Structure 1
Amino acid sequence: MRALARIISSGLLTIYCAGTFAASLEITPVTVELEASQNGQVFTLHNNGTEALSAQIRVYSWNQEDGDDQLTLTRDLIASPPIAQVAAGGEQIVRLVRAHPGGPAQEMAYRLFIDELPPPNAAPSTGIQFRFRYSVPVFLYAPGERGAPDTHWSLETH
């Protein structure tokens, strides 16, 4: 009987913890793309939780060297607002604007980091609180770079 009680308690704790740790912030789209002719793009933060949340948005240029990501804080793209308040069950539109007009000479890659912030007047807690960081890829295309992909295929029989 004690074994059955442990199994049930363990199962209930697992279900409770899974719900406790679930993230309530959703970001759409999951990849942001800007054509050479576009000066900006929008994405949306959705709060599926029961409490308001705050998020900080920062933009980093993104390069890869020897298989490692190289991230550098940049002002080439500016997120507005840089700190968003999202009501429970609500959403916030964030604009991503290019700081310099005109298309780049080559494709540029960036990463948006969206960090959940603690509530401003949060009471001290004895439990573990999780704050998530989301990383969203952003691609800025050069003129004439986007279009139908150059794909070729053939069928051979032997």
Structure 2
Amino acid sequence: MESDPSPREPVDSDVDLRQSAAAAYGQGRGGEAAVLAAIAAGGAIGASARYLVGLAWPTTSGSLPWATLAINAVGCLLIGVLMVLVSEVWIQQRLLRPFVGTGILGGFTTFSTYSVDIQQLIADGHPGAALTYLAATVVGALAAVWAATRTTRALVNRSRR
């Protein structure tokens, strides 16, 4: 027996097996091309923003990579805001989530740099800093997305009254 998804949480069209990709993103190759173009354009913007933050806030040897930690926490916060807005407010904007969520915020946040930073801290003889960074990033990112989702949902519901 298949249960219905919670009415508070949206079904992701990327993983909902009851809906085809063509139906989720528009019929035919033109719809897929538009989604890919939106993701690529957004990704270029997000990755460029991450690069600029890294240049403006360099990490000294042996210290926590604060720029990457902040990038991932802020990115998760913005993903929390975005997901509430695209699932409850701007539900007809089919390219918004691929452009902003997958593209900009996916390009802005970085698991690969986070992993390399941890490896580098360990290799440089700073395992305590590596563990602190590992935990702080996970806790900060989860707290950011949770707080942003709850706050945005409360604001959306308040504005509807």
Q: TM-score range by the shorter chain?
A: under 0.3
Larger RCO (alpha carbons 8 Å, 6+ apart): 2
**Rg bigger for which structure?**
1
- TM-score by structure 1 length? 0.26
- TM-score by structure 2 length? 0.25
